[in-house]
Amino acid sequence: MQPCAASADCSLMTMTAHFSVEERRARGRALRERAPRSSHADWSPGTDRPDPVALLEAQNADRVTWLVPIRRGRMSASPFTFFRGAARIMAADLAATPTTGLDVQTCGDAHLANFGLYASPERELVFDLNDFDETIDGPWEWDIKRLAASFTITARHNGLKKSVGRRVAERVLRAYREAMAKFAEKRNTDVFYAMLSADDMLSATKDKHRRQRLRALDEKAKSKTSIQALHKLTEEVEGEYRIRHVPPVLIPLRYARPEHGGERLRQRLLRSFEAYEATVPHHCKRLLDRYRPLDMAFKVVGVGSVGTECFVLLLEGRDRSDPLFLQIKQAGRSVLEEYLSPSPYDHQGRRVVEGQRLMQAVSDPFLGWAREADSGRDFYWRQLRDWKGSVNIDNLTAPDLHFYARLCGWTLARAHARSGDPIAISGYLGSSDAFDKAVARFAELYADQNERDYAQFSKQIESGKLEAETG
């Protein structure tokens, strides 16, 4: 038998290939001795806990200097926005918590705002995870704990009672556990084919007003296309479309500061585009060959990602009415890697792409990666807009959060079942709510910790020690 090739799921394949269903389920149950389900309720910062603000500032050291104040400003808006950008802090904290040793392809940043709608290549609107900057092979418990904590923090952010925060956390955990039990009964191929469409979301609720909001969300998502981006992000310059200048969040390379070298950046991106084309499937490359680059811009995105190099590339196809926007985003090492085995991919852009393909039911066909020859930086490429939609977190009521928890819990279980051992994980979780209640308690305690970290962060901004740009 040939040795397993280096891949993100190699160890997982060998783990499950030679054991019966009964043995795998028994293995999961036996792991309750190693990590009792009740032990997941525990959280308290150790005396050697790293300074949370120092962890964030260490990340900023490798980022675009003039964007760092914007990152701090976005994170300072609320405890929830702080949590969004604090994946590195939680990774350090989770490293001290109990795990079963049943690894999966983790998202690494599985909070509720990193789920949303997008178009499949078959032109169906699907709901799935949509951020994989931190993806790596690791404990499934880390993802579900971050997701549960995000629901508790969001409930508080929206002014709901603390008891609501615990109940919605329990709901997402129950959804995860029950979905994993169902995936444990399915054939491997059925797990890979499982997906959640926009129509499935509609059928999951009978609430009239929620159905109306979901339909509106669907329509809004379907309006976000390259044509819509053309009207929003570009203007006509000498008879051709050019990306608008909207500093500091969108800066065409023709407006780049002298120290940034606009023409040098343009040449870098053109070379990167050639390297990227070599990583997409051949049929996708044939499609890309029908487009020509028109313009490029520096683009600020997200909360935690602010400060990484991110660009947008406008291409034109058969004529002016056939635009294509691609996003090019810098990829560093996963914040989880400091506490886990290294990724099998030495190219961080490929790590992101391969992790996304493994976790999502269907993925963007334009996904690819490239390494910049001059700096050695890694990037991943994807389509900028293709029926993208997300829930407005600020407007979620308690019933809305319960509904959304069901969707996110099921989706994360499906993503983990694709790469891990759903039978063993389900065997560990069992049919009771012991794990649900334990992690819901953890989520409550961690929401308290997040508020303390946010207060410390905010205090340093208010004192002038840290510069932040808001608005």
The band of 338, judged by pLDDT with boundaries at 50, 70 and 90, is: very high
Torsion angle in degrees (nearest 10) through CA of 395, 399, 400, 406 = 150
pLDDT of residue 17: 57
Q: Give mean pLDDT, residues 138-149.
A: 98
Instruction: Tell me if 161 sits within 8 A of 230, measured CB to CB.
Output: no
In this structure, are 181 and 313 located in the same domain?
Answer: no
Number of structural domains the chain divides into: 2
In this structure, are 166 and 24 located in the same domain?
Answer: yes
Last residue of a domain, one of 328, 360, 383: 383
Last residue of a domain, one of 383, 412, 440: 383
Residue 33: phi and psi, rounded to 5, are: -70, -40
The band of 258, judged by pLDDT with boundaries at 50, 70 and 90, is: low
In this structure, are 339 and 419 located in the same domain?
Answer: no
Q: SS3 of 38, please?
A: helix
pLDDT of residue 283: 95
Residue 125 domain flag: no
The band of 1, judged by pLDDT with boundaries at 50, 70 and 90, is: very low
Q: Which of 191, 239, 227, 247 minimizes the C-alpha distance to 359?
A: 191
Residue 42 domain flag: yes
- Residue showing tokens 């500032």: 57
In whole angstroms, give the CA distance from residue 106 to residue 137.
6
Residue 467 domain flag: no
Residue 204 domain flag: no
What are the CA-CA distances from residue 20 to residues 193, 295, 337 (Å)?
Answer: 22, 56, 31
In this structure, are 305 and 417 located in the same domain?
Answer: no
In this structure, are 376 and 403 located in the same domain?
Answer: no
Q: Give mean pLDDT, residues 214-226.
A: 94
Q: Give mean pLDDT, residues 152-172.
A: 97
Residue 2 domain flag: no
Q: Over pLDDT 90: what percentage of the chain?
A: 86
In this structure, are 319 and 336 located in the same domain?
Answer: yes
Instruction: Tell me if 73 sits within 8 A of 468, measured CB to CB.
Output: yes
Write out pLDDT tens, residues 3-21.
444 444 444 444 545 899 9
Examine the pLDDT at 175 and tell me if it is beyond 50. Answer: yes
Q: What is the pTM of this model?
A: 0.94
Write out pLDDT tens, residues 264-315.
888 888 999 999 999 999 999 999 999 999 999 999 888 888 889 999 999 9
Residue 118 domain flag: no
In this structure, are 173 and 287 located in the same domain?
Answer: no
Q: Which of 301, 326, 378 minimizes the C-alpha distance to 114?
A: 301
Q: Give mean pLDDT, residues 105-132.
A: 96
Annotate 25-48 with b (16+ C-beta within 10 A) or e (fewer).
bebbeebbeebebeebbebeeeee
What are the CA-CA distances from residue 158 to residues 155, 166, 170, 212, 216 (Å)?
Answer: 5, 14, 18, 21, 22
In whole angstroms, give the CA distance from residue 74 to residue 257.
23
Last residue of a domain, one of 330, 352, 383: 383
In this structure, are 379 and 402 located in the same domain?
Answer: no
Whether residue 365 is preceded by a cis peptide bond, meaning omega within 30 degrees of 0, is: no
In this structure, are 183 and 258 located in the same domain?
Answer: no
Residue 63 domain flag: yes
Examine the pLDDT at 259 and tell me if it is beyond 70. Answer: no
In this structure, are 327 and 305 located in the same domain?
Answer: yes
What is the span of the domain harbouring residue 454? 10-106+139-197+392-462
The band of 74, judged by pLDDT with boundaries at 50, 70 and 90, is: very high
Residue 149 domain flag: yes
In this structure, are 149 and 264 located in the same domain?
Answer: no
pLDDT of residue 239: 87
Write out pLDDT tens, residues 36-56.
999 999 999 999 999 999 999
Of residues 14 and 260, which shows the higher confidence score? 260
